[in-house]
A = this chain, B = another copy of it.
Amino acid sequence: MTSSHSRPDWLRTHTCGELREANVGQSVVLNGWVDARRDHGGIYFVDLRDRYGITQVTLTPEQSDALPFSTEFVLGVHGKVVQRENPNPDRPTGLIEVRTERIEVLSPSPTPPIDIIDNLDAAVDTRLRYRYLDLRRGPLQRNLIHRSKFIASIRRAFEDQEFIEVETPVLTRATPEGARDYLVPSRVHPGQFYALPQSPQIFKQILMVAGYDRYFQVARCFRDEDLRADRQPEFTQLDMEMSFVHEEDVFAVWEGVMGRAFRENMGLELPQTFPRMRWEEAMDRFGSDKPDTRFGMELVDLAEWVPTCEFRVFQGALEAGGRVMAIRVPGGGSSVSRGQLKSLESAAKDLGAKGLAWWKPGEEGGAAGPVAKFMDGAVGEELLALTAVDGATTDGDLLLFGADAERIVWRVLGDLRLRLARQLDLLPPATGDGAQWNFLWVTHFPMFEFDEAAGRYFSSHHPFTCPEDETLGGDEPDVSKLVSRAYDLVLNGWELGSGSIRIHRQDVQARVFELLGIDASEQQLKFGFLLEALSYGAPPHGGFAVGLDRLVALTLGLDSIRDVVAFPKTTSAADLMCGAPSRVAPDQLAEVHVAPAGKALERDGSA
């Protein structure tokens, strides 16, 4: 009786990606899945697959007949490595094959409901239902391996800069200002609930108050929101915070981190520093706080030109305190059809515009557009000079105008700019040769935003963001004009993450809550412990968080984060594989002192 376990003889000696010419003549054991099998000239060929590669195995008809198997069976193959007669140069193992001496089935498989192939065309729900088969496919394996290595690089970059990883609670307190929380009823405290964190924001600030100086965490976060295609109810962010810093210190850390992750995983050298741009400049030039700077078609302010033009709509917009701006679409005179202009106008209207003025300076009559008649002579010449890209003026261009309240002009032209870039194929490839990685820091965001529906101001970032002016405009501030020390990191038009220098003074924090309409007693109830913590010697601090699912997807050129998440949920937040959420036994609910209510009762009257 020994406590050691002897090695089973079917255990692999090599992986399916490992054998080379140098191994010829060796006796080996391989374990793997049957990727394909074919019969050719009286020999059976099997492609045996594992995570590391594919190796060709040959069987005699007798061996094959003695042990029936088909694709996705798991085999143990004992054999000898031999030179291949017909080498396959596309495969690292392509110079050899394994001549079977003995074979055994380690696990059988029926025909799988989806094919284990790279270019699968199957319904999303089927893929999610059989996720263990979907995850066997090459692209998903490569994505998840890349994800693991990419995040490992990021983590090491933080560790090597003296950041320490601290794990913050998942069972925590409901977030008063933010998205909807996931709630967890307490068994020990009847009628009370934990909430899953939307981010570790308050905990990381507490860690700064506690003197940890440099914190990071790969943190799971939760938001119970209606999901769009590229959102998940739980997601992973690289969360970090630093003490005794200003904006440039945070930027420098992240530039180093991204540089390392791109170098180690993609062989790319990013610039040592990323451009910085004020929020207002981003809006004015790109109509977006997350500008895609990989192409031009920037917005042009026409305020000085408008008085020379007799088009009343433009003048009216300026008189009403709004803006008039244009984008110039190179070659759009011919590449953008009348039909496309119609759909662009309809998009503009959906975004709040009253219409869409356009001008094709190279065309005549109606084809030149409804506002062409205001562009005669010097007026038009001047406009073409103003909007010229790199000094070049082409007759065949298209000009699109926005004339409205500033927010609407930005929103509409920013959106049309992106639409046209896609339609006209102006974007470089998302990955591989020719891909561009335009990182950009956007800074100086507005402190507050007015929410029309709620009829009050909300924090643009979050209520812990430090204002540029710590007096907050004094006693009678114009809240709409206050600028914050928030910043975003943008990559190719995607917001990768956001952060800010935080408020470290209790009085400033209390004043910000006040401006948000949270009175002293509500502050105590909701944020009492944070205000108290800030009172005990809080260091100036700031931080940042990056959504890792999105970042990893972008580095792979993927649109959807679903292909970089091992077990994603559907847009109705369901896990189709394991069947979550699900009904639970009534006594489980009774233990945590809740009962079904509302719609839960309608559907299940007996509960």
Interface string of A206-243 (1 = CB under 8 A from B): 11011111100000101010000000011010000001
Q: A132-B209, A244-B31, A594-B594 are in contact. Are A167 and B537 (CB under 8 A)?
A: no
Say whether B106 contacts A540, CB under 8 Å: yes
Which residues of the partner chain B approach A196 to less than 8 Å between Cβ atoms?
170, 184
CB-CB contacts of A534-562 with B at 8 A, as 1s and 0s? Answer: 11111110000000000000000000000
Known: A72-B536, A505-B107. A607 touches B191 (CB 8 A): yes
A199 CB → nearest B CB, Å: 14
Residue among A132, A182, A594, A601 with most chain B CB within 10 A: A132
Are B5 and A247 within 8 A (Cβ)?
yes
Interface membership of A531, Cβ < 8 A? no
A205-B251 Cα distance, complex, nearest whole Å: 40
Q: How far is the CA of A56 from the CA of B224 in the complex (A)?
A: 50
Q: Which of B49, B169, B444, B538 contacts A234 (CB 8 A)?
A: B169
A529 at the interface (CB under 8 A from B): yes
- Give the CA-CA distance A156 to B243 in the complex, in Å: 27
Cross-interface CB contact of A536 among B109, B234, B573, cutoff 8 Å: B109
**Shortest beta-carbon distance, A501 to chain B, in Å?**
9
Decide if A391 is an interface residue (CB 8 Å cutoff): no
Would B169 and A575 count as touching, CB distance under 8 A?
A: yes
Q: In the complex, which residue of chain B has the Cβ closest to the Cβ of A275? A: B3
Min distance, Cβ A127 to any Cβ of chain B, angstroms: 12
* A277 interfacial by beta-carbon distance below 8 Å: yes
Residues in B whose Cβ lies below 8 Å from that of A604: 191
| Tally of chain A residues near chain B (CB < 8 A) | 144
Q: Is the CB of A595 within 8 A of B597?
A: yes
Instruction: Scan residues 390-447 of chain A and give those whose CB is less than 8 A from a CB of chain B.
Output: 441, 443-444
CA distance A367 to B583 in the complex (A): 65
Cross-chain contact of A600 among B109, B156, B190, B581 (Cβ < 8 A): B190
Question: From residue 287 to 316 of chain A, which have CB atoms closer than 8 A to chain B?
Answer: none
Q: Does A37 contact B (CB under 8 A)?
A: no
Q: How far is the CA of A567 from the CA of B167 in the complex (A)?
A: 8
Do A593 and B596 touch across chains, with their CB atoms under 8 A apart?
A: yes
Q: A12 touches which one: B49, B165, B203, B244 (CB < 8 A)?
A: B244
Q: Encode A27-62 as 1/0 by CB contact (under 8 A) with B.
A: 000010100000000000000011110000000000
Known: A3-B441, A141-B211, A593-B596. 20 other contacts (CB 8 A): A3-B278, A31-B243, A51-B213, A74-B539, A107-B534, A109-B537, A132-B207, A144-B164, A148-B159, A152-B155, A152-B165, A167-B565, A170-B196, A173-B580, A183-B185, A191-B604, A207-B566, A529-B579, A589-B594, A594-B595
Q: Which residues of A contact B (CB under 8 A)?
A: 1, 3-5, 7-8, 11-12, 15, 31, 33, 49-52, 72-74, 106-110, 112, 130-133, 135-136, 141, 144-145, 148-149, 151-152, 155-156, 159, 164-174, 180-196, 202-203, 206-207, 209-214, 220, 222, 224, 233-234, 236, 243-248, 276-278, 281, 441, 443-444, 485, 504-505, 528-529, 533-540, 565-567, 569, 572-575, 577-584, 588-604, 607
Cross-chain pairs A/B with CB under 8 angstroms, 26 sampled: A4-B248, A50-B213, A51-B211, A73-B537, A106-B540, A131-B206, A132-B206, A132-B536, A141-B212, A149-B164, A166-B566, A167-B236, A171-B581, A174-B582, A180-B588, A182-B194, A183-B184, A188-B574, A189-B581, A190-B599, A191-B583, A191-B596, A191-B603, A194-B581, A594-B600, A595-B596
